[in-house]
Structure 1
């Protein structure tokens, strides 16, 4: 089974802050023969650098903490992620929670106060609309 996954969850240098993190529950998937993880970073696919200013969704827009609008880059990145999902026949995606791109169910509210609100990131929203099952890293056993 091919599963699309946020590249940052695999330790790829693509997080907004330029840091990497290890997610033990994701690492456990790497040894399984029945799962092939297809890494993608929608933000980088959309043309954003690493590191980059923090961004949050404000309705349909995505803006950085310094007020720059990056909606077009997030949309382009979401479309790239969808391309990879289709190319590799993925029916599931493991995405980084709370992200303005990959978050699902809860994302930061756009005030840059670390307040969560109900909603999906741009990529999660597009992938879900295309029928993919979205899984957050905390949903993994």
Structure 2
């Protein structure tokens, strides 16, 4: 069975920086959960950050690839450097995807860890810029396709392609 790595906050876990969840009511996500496809994961918590915690953004809105390469840091509003936690969480998310066989992830859009299309600009002003979070960037670099919670229909199409590909390999 194709597994899907998913942000734990989308499944109701209260792991976000503010102590809340961002529970998704998407029917496909609920169906996949019932099928046992989902691998819930919060890279920020697994990386060692507490709940609640100060918000964090990638400096300059540079994106996760810049953090992975050491060209940017992840900072809190008071300037504390929490890059270490984001890198650790990203590595652990990749390990979870690899060990479960997940080639697909549905992550919380806009997060400095999980954003797949946008992240905040690093000014803590609420402005978003195009880019990926640290975990999303590391997953994509390692062949795990990442979608935000607002693109579950696209994720479903990708999942169908993965299932067909796996079935084709088995029939050979």
| Shorter-chain TM-score tier | over 0.9
Under a length normalisation based on structure 1, what TM-score does the superposition of the two structures give? Answer: 0.94
Aligned counterparts of 2:28 and 2:143: Cα–Cα separation in 1 = 25
**Alpha-carbon contact 1:99-1:108 (below 8 Å) kept:** yes
Separation in structure 2 between the aligned mates of residue 118 and residue 124 of structure 1, nearest angstrom: 13
| Number of the residue aligned with 1:17 | 18
Mapped pair 1:125 → 2:126: no
Give the unaligned 5+ runs of structure 1. Answer: none
2:85 maps to which of 67, 73, 93? 73
Aligned pairs for 1:1-40 within 5 A = 1-25=2-26, 28-32=28-32, 36-40=37-41
* Residue 41 in structure 1 maps to residue 42 in structure 2: yes
**Structure with greater helix share of residues:** 2
Show structure 2 runs of 5+ residues with no match. Answer: 63-71, 154-172
SS of residue paired to 1:117: strand
Q: Paired residues, what number?
A: 140
Quote the Cα distance in structure 2 between the aligned partners of 1:119 and 1:79. Answer: 19
Helix, strand or coil for the counterpart of 1:140? helix
Q: Does 1:90 align with 2:106?
A: no
Secondary structure at 1:21's aligned position in 2?
coil
Q: RMSD of the TM alignment (CA)?
A: 1.4
